[in-house]
Structure 1
Amino acid sequence: MKIEIGKEFPQYFKALYPEEFELFSHFEVTAGIPTVLFAVTTWKENGKPNVCFHSWSCFHGDKTAFFAVMGNLYQHTHTYANIKREQCFCVNFLPISYYDNLVDTIHCNEMDDDEFAAGGFTIDSAKAVHAPVIHEAFLSMECTLKEIQDLSGAGITAMVIGQVQHISVEESYAQGYRQRYGKDGFMMLIPAPQDLVTGEPNKSAIATVHIEKYD
């Protein structure tokens, strides 16, 4: 038997925190699909560096181009405004050991805040775009803005597509699987899977990749 969840909010779903279902669709916690966590870095209008801890994205392309497709970027944020103004951004992948540092940037995100300092990060200059790069990231992508779409049309979030112009990889991560996957590699967000029988909430989880098979 399958549990069927439609587009109308299930009234028996309980929120983990008061604004949960004002911020997110109930489909997010119905599905609980894991996606990679990373930091989007940009310059604020006043020249301060900005860090946005983000997920809900994918990375793909063809032989002509490669894209960072960032979903669910809130339009009221500094990051959204910075990307529109500067027409570029960087995507920085850090291991789970930097999770708390990245959370610190969430709590220190006013216009005059240096969010690199808040997270204890070192600024590097991008090679191909006008954006700051997190030195501690094991992999960084420099992107020019390709397209912005408000998929829902509600003016709340946007899908931001960047075209990758340059990638930097830490040398110790440059050969095979050993460093990029596991506790020192990509960090994953598992959105809190709702109990679809009782409607009780769960906390989100942070995970790393464990390779089960080679294809």
Structure 2
Amino acid sequence: MKKEFSHKPDLYEEQWPGEFNTFSWGDYLTAIPSPIFLITTYKSNRKPNACLQSWSTFTGDAGEFICLIGSVSKKGHLYESLLKTKECVLNFPAADIYDKCQATIQNNDFEDDEIEKSGLTVEESKTVEAPRIAECFLNIECDFIWKKDHFKGANDVVVCLKMKHIAMDEDYYDENKKGRYGKTGYIYNIHSPRNPENGEIFDTDLGILKKYSE
């Protein structure tokens, strides 16, 4: 039976100060999975910036491949560098390097090379002035198109990017080899599902996509 929700369930409690100002209770009730990737740019000091991302979608329109980044903080290095350089790279990791990708969250001082310090390797891009991550099986080089606040007074913005160039490991675009899906392919953010009736919290975890026909 469906239950109706217009307000935060009473048993949903913040796990850290300001959690429900950063996220919504709707994040945890729906727990809709989204692909995980790193957006890389150069900071104003030319040090590589790497921002672990999710909550995004990808679509084609009039022959162009468009990436909509659902939530970029106005306070971070990514927002600042995107507005200045107008370009970036989207880097898609497999699960075996996720720990290194997650380390970029801590290794984010202005003077840090956030890629190398996290145990990953900077790779030169072909069409943009932004670093690629060599260990990621897919790199999408993009131009910045526009940004828009979620709503008046929002903390974050939606960002629209347009693909310029793709680099992809041949073992991943061949579905007879590693392929794009399963345990070696795209990884998804399963963001702390919570039960509204008893407040039970499940840990944030990685998800994988498996073809229904298999």
Using the TM superposition, give the Cα deviation of residue 106 of structure 1 relative to its aligned residue in structure 2, in angstroms.
Answer: 0.7
SS of 1:29 mapped into structure 2:
helix
Q: State the match for 2:8 in structure 1.
A: 9
Range with greater deviation from structure 2 (150-159 or 65-74): 150-159
TM-score, normalisation: structure 1: 0.94
Amino acid at match of 2:2: K
Q: Does 1:95 align with 2:82?
A: no
Range with greater deviation from structure 2 (177-186 or 146-155): 177-186
Q: State the match for 1:82 in structure 2.
A: 81
Q: State the match for 1:169 in structure 2.
A: 168
Q: State the match for 2:193 in structure 1.
A: 193
Q: Is the 8 A contact 1:14 1:201 kept in 2?
A: no
Using the TM superposition, give the Cα deviation of residue 96 of structure 1 relative to its aligned residue in structure 2, in angstroms.
Answer: 0.6
Using the TM superposition, give the Cα deviation of residue 12 of structure 1 relative to its aligned residue in structure 2, in angstroms.
Answer: 2.4
Q: Distance in 2 between matches of 1:177 and 1:168?
A: 19
TM-score, normalisation: structure 2: 0.94
Ranges in structure 2 where 5+ consecutive residues have no aligned partner: none
Q: State the match for 1:52 in structure 2.
A: 51
Q: Is the 8 A contact 2:11 2:197 kept in 1?
A: no
Q: State the match for 2:206 in structure 1.
A: 206
Q: Does 1:146 align with 2:148?
A: no
SS of 2:160 mapped into structure 1:
strand
- Residue identity over aligned pairs, in percent, reads 31
Deviations 1:158-204 (Å, cap 9, x if unpaired)?
10110001100112223126422112110110111110211232221
Deviations 1:69-92 (Å, cap 9, x if unpaired)?
001111100011111110011100
Q: Distance in 1 between matches of 2:176 and 2:38?
A: 22
Instruction: State the superposition RMSD in angstroms.
Output: 1.5
Amino acid at match of 1:100: D
Q: Does 1:24 align with 2:26?
A: no
**Corresponding residue pairs, total:** 213
Q: Is the 8 A contact 1:15 1:201 kept in 2?
A: no
